[in-house]
């Protein structure tokens, strides 16, 4: 029977793969953004500045603080890579999300299980790069290799997860091919960055067979809620436990925490609830807080649902607010493992 031997949760922010000074490249776009989502409401730059002036976030955004936090996060990420190498799992189940990299408004499934034989990770074309906001493509090396790569899928386990999900009343979408509905619109080729980050930073390009679980966390109106994500994870956990093949499995949630406006209070409460396995506390902030980039916390929640079917316990390696501006834009960066 299959056994889950390791779990992980990690933030895949591009800030990890740019220097502390390069974080400023994104600040001009932050200033122009009229719809920053923060604690269930929407603000422009000036509105955020007025709201958060007492937090003195300009001090938090100083380069020396950025550098300290980057060093701590990189140490945590390296520790996860070492744990993965020591565990030597046979297969990985990776929970992430899509940001119009695979899907667009022609179709956006709430839950998708990829069960193809091959997973492509392809550098962006110059034309794709030209459509990106400033400061994004310079971090691509964190999740995309210099040359196109093809990784092994785990189709038998993927099919088993789909069948179990259907039996558990989850009407999941499935995919065997990484297809572009509109290549001219897409901003990436192949697997989304949530997964490429894991292949590059945790597996160190020595990629084992994997099943990507793709959530629609970002885009209304069919985002699955917190409880549904946790329950879906439990279904996946039951599928893994009942898979007859003798193998070991790693479970990885890739994304989060709060962004594109950092909310340390939310992040710390989230991590505490996750560590306790308290689904009520995870759901209590309400869906309005799980929007924009913060919605990626649901990747961790789904992974935690999978891991709740085991005896593994969560251990937090680090949490740091990657604040890049005086209004608190950036990413909450956290790294944890279950053993």
**Model confidence pLDDT, tens digit, residues 56-82:** 999 999 999 999 999 999 999 999 999
Sole residue written with tokens 């007859």: 244
> For 99-153, what is each residue's pLDDT tens digit?
988 888 889 999 999 999 999 998 887 877 777 777 788 888 999 999 999 999 9
> For 77-112, what is each residue's pLDDT tens digit?
999 999 999 999 999 999 999 998 888 888 999 999
Residue 191 DSSP code: S
> For 272-298, what is each residue's pLDDT tens digit?
999 999 999 999 999 999 999 999 999
Phi, psi of 290 (to 5 degrees): -95, 60
Task: Go through the domains of the chain in sequence order and give each one's CATH number.
Answer: 3-338 (3.40.830.10)
> For 234-267, what is each residue's pLDDT tens digit?
999 999 999 999 999 999 999 999 999 999 999 9
Phi, psi of 10 (to 5 degrees): -150, 150
Which residue has better confidence, 160 or 100? 160
**Per-residue confidence at 180, pLDDT binned at 50, 70, 90?**
low
Average confidence (pLDDT) over 206-218: 98
Residue 181, pLDDT > 50, answer no
List the single range of 46-50, 103-107, 122-126, 180-184 with lowest mean pLDDT.
180-184
Q: Which residues does 188 contact at the CB level (< 8 Å), separation at least 6? A: 101, 122, 124, 128
Sole residue written with tokens 């891991």: 307
């Amino acid at each position: 029977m299959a056994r889950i031997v390791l779990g992980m949760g990690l933030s895949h922010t591009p800030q990890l793969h740019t220097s502390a000074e390069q974080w400023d490249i994104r600040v001009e776009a932050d200033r122009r953004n009229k719809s920053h989502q923060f604690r269930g409401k929407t603000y422009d730059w000036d509105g955020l500045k007025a709201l958060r002036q007492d937090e003195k976030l300009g001090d938090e955004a100083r380069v020396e603080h950025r550098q300290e936090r980057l060093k701590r996060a990189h140490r945590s990420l390296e520790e996860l890579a070492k744990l993965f190498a020591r565990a030597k799992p046979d297969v990985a189940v990776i929970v992430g999300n899509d940001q119009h990299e695979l899907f667009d408004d022609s179709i956006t499934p709430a839950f998708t299980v990829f069960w193809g034989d091959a997973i492509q990770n392809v550098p962006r074309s110059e034309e794709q790069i030209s459509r990106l906001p400033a400061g994004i493509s310079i971090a691509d090396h964190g999740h995309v290799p210099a040359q196109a790569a093809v990784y092994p899928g785990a189709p038998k386990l993927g099919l088993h997860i789909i069948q179990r999900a259907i039996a558990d009343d989850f009407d999941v979408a499935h995919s065997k091919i990484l297809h572009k509905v509109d290549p001219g619109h897409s901003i990436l080729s192949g697997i989304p960055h949530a997964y490429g980050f894991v292949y590059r930073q945790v597996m160190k390009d020595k990629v084992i067979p994997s099943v990507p679980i793709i959530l629609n966390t970002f885009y209304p109106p069919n985002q699955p809620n917190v409880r549904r994500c946790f329950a879906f994870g439990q279904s996946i956990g039951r599928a893994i436990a009942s898979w007859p093949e003798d193998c070991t499995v790693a479970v990885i949630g890739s994304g989060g925490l709060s962004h594109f406006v950092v909310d340390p209070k939310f992040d710390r409460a989230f991590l505490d609830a996750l560590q306790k396995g308290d689904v009520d506390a995870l759901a209590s902030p309400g869906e309005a807080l799980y929007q924009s980039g913060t919605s990626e916390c649901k990747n961790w929640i789904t992974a935690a649902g999978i891991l709740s079917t085991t005896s593994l316990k969560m251990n937090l390696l680090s949490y740091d607010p990657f604040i890049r501006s005086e209004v608190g834009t950036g990413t909450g960066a956290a790294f944890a493992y279950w053993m």
